[in-house]
Amino acid sequence: MRLDKYLKVARISKRRAIGKELADHERVLINGKIAKPSSDVKEGDILTIRFGTKELVIRVLKLAKQVSKQEASLMFEILEENIKEESEMI
């Protein structure tokens, strides 16, 4: 499944365009490597996503084309969630 689509279906980003923009600005890593919006996401992959001052590290548990809001949270497991101070951002 494409990275931008996975981020939308799992409700990590509200729209697919936001997932694409995150990847275009090198704010998403798959298994430690910079990802493109079209990068393939597989079960077991570790995604690191940076939203401004927030960094989210997740493990992909499930892939699905469409899920309900309740099932979306079952598609991934949060491994780390960090919030950086503005002064730490460079």
Sequence-separated (6 or more) residues with CB below 8 Å from residue 38:
2, 3, 4
Q: Give residue-wise pLDDT tens across range 38-61.
A: 999 999 999 999 988 899 999 999
Residues 58, 75: contact at Cβ < 8 Å?
A: no
Question: Which domains can be identified in the chain, with CATH numbers?
Answer: 3-88 (3.10.290.10)
The predicted structure's pLDDT at residue 70? 87
- Global pTM reads 0.86
Whether residue 35 is predicted with pLDDT greater than 70 in this model: the reply is: yes
Mean pLDDT estimate for the chain? 91
The predicted structure's pLDDT at residue 89? 52
The predicted structure's pLDDT at residue 76? 94
**DSSP summary character for residue 68:** -
